[in-house]
Amino acid sequence: MRSLDSTITKLKAEGFKLTPQRISVIKYMEGNPDHPSAGDIYKALKKKYPGLAFSTVYNTLRMLQKIGEIQAVNIAEDHMNYDPDTSSHFHLLCEECGKIVDIPSSGDLAECFRSSEISGHEVKSYQINMRGTCSSCLCGSSDPQRRL
Amino acid sequence: MRSLDSTITKLKAEGFKLTPQRISVIKYMEGNPDHPSAGDIYKALKKKYPGLAFSTVYNTLRMLQKIGEIQAVNIAEDHMNYDPDTSSHFHLLCEECGKIVDIPSSGDLAECFRSSEISGHEVKSYQINMRGTCSSCLCGSSDPQRRL
DNA sequence: CTGTATGCAAAGGTTTTGCATCGGG
DNA sequence: CCCGATGCAAAACCTTTGCATACAG
């Protein structure tokens, strides 16, 4: 997801309709670093757009996934999170504050997945998910953002 | 999970009770390469032990996780899978047959996670999940085990 | 206009919880 | 004996689905 404009252009090119609800979801995701869940998106947008259904959020997310504008992050145990940054990077779920933070992809790591063939299997995609404590919680030991 | 005996010994040492239901779950998991879900375990054991509750399966799995005898694998989209092999290795979800296969940890990959500090965050654990096509489905293109 | 997206509600699946009862240590 | 585990059922939660209506192109 580079920008609102490029995403909308892509939508049109792929033949999808531009409804206000879809645009609101796209706006919410664009540049959002918080890896929101479908529920987060629904709750946040429901205030502004009372006429918004849960299924519309899911449909829009699925559509954005299909055209490669967002990626689903399978790191939490009981729900999916969504990331507008589809470049190669990884995620850490902080066990203190519950946030999901981005981890840049190191050259060494990328090197391991250079080939699409690993142990005789064909690898089409991969995710690296970590758990631990994020830098904010490590420094500010008075944990200003503790949620758990 | 090394063996049935060692697991039972560990359970006793940790002060957990040895009930027939717990032992049946442990037996089912021990050496099982199929990464079953809680539902798989329940369905399989319900035949032999009609007196088995879903909650007991979940309780036992949580207990086994806590004492480090199994690990939860967060690779499927809508449920958790469980693996009695807690050594360092990764998983590939085959998009053809739906199976989860083990990928041995390479030295190069392990090297990347040598330090518990990455990008200023403290990493306590990590999972590498891949999607693609497993070697069985690649070879036997007549896909004898296709499920999707 | 036409076809598709929306909203609503209900279903489906997984996991959790509450409570009376049972049984292992 | 006693405390914790079990079984049962229901609830909670996330996600998907079906259908009539509304609306973008």
- Tell me the pLDDT tens digit for each residue of A7-27: 999 999 999 999 999 999 999
- The alpha carbon of residue A148 is apart from the nearest alpha carbon of chain B, in Å, by 17
Of the pLDDT bands very low, low, confident and very high (cuts 50, 70, 90), residue A141 is low
Q: B111: closest CA among A75, A141, A107? A: A107
A–B interface: beta-carbon pairs under 8 A = 108
A144 three-class SS:
coil
Judged by CB atoms within 8 Å, which residues 51-110 of B form the interface with A? 72, 74-75, 77, 80, 92, 94-95, 101, 103-104, 106, 108-109
Query: Are the beta carbons of B77 and A80 separated by less than 8 Å?
Result: yes
Give pLDDT tens digits for B48-106.
888 899 999 999 999 999 999 999 999 999 999 999 999 999 999 999 999 999 999 98
Return the closest nucleotide (C1') to the Cα of A38.
Answer: D14
The footprint of strand D (CB < 7 Å) covers A 12, 17-20, 37-39, 54-55, 58-59, 62, 78-80; B 16-17, 19, 21-22, 49, 51-56, 59-60, 77-78
- The alpha carbon of residue A69 is apart from the nearest alpha carbon of chain B, in Å, by 19
Q: Which tokens hold the place of A116?
A: 């699409």
Sort A53 into a burial class: Cβ within 10 Å, 0-12 / 13-18 / 19+. exposed
A11 three-class SS:
helix
What are the domain boundaries of chain A? Answer: 4-73, 87-138
Identify the CATH class of B4-73.
mainly alpha
Buried b (16+ CB within 10 A) or exposed e, A85-96: eeeeebbbbbeb
If you measure CA to CA, which chain A residue comes closest to B107? A112
Q: B57: closest CA among B40, B42, B74, B75? A: B42
β-sheet bridge partners, residue B125: A131
- What pLDDT shows up at residue A112? 84
Q: Please give the protein residue whose CA is closest to the C1' of the nucleotide D12.
A: A78
In this structure, whether the domain defined by B87-138 belongs to CATH 3.40.50.720 is answered with no
Contact A132, B122 (CB under 8 A): yes
Nucleotides of strand C within 7 Å of the protein's CB atoms:
4-10, 13-18, 23-25
- The alpha carbon of residue A115 is apart from the nearest alpha carbon of chain B, in Å, by 13
Contact A32, A101 (CB under 8 A): no
State the Cα–Cα distance between residues A67 and B99, nearest whole angstrom.
Answer: 26
If you measure CA to CA, which chain B residue comes closest to A93? B123
Of the pLDDT bands very low, low, confident and very high (cuts 50, 70, 90), residue B141 is low
- Provide the CA A22 to C1' D20 distance, Å, integer: 21
Average pLDDT, chain B: 91
Residues in chain B: 148
Q: Which tokens hold the place of B62?
A: 């949580």
Which has more pLDDT, A142 or B113?
B113
State the Cα–Cα distance between residues B148 and B137, nearest whole angstrom.
Answer: 12
pTM: 0.91
Contact A120, B135 (CB under 8 A): yes
- Provide the CA A69 to C1' D24 distance, Å, integer: 22
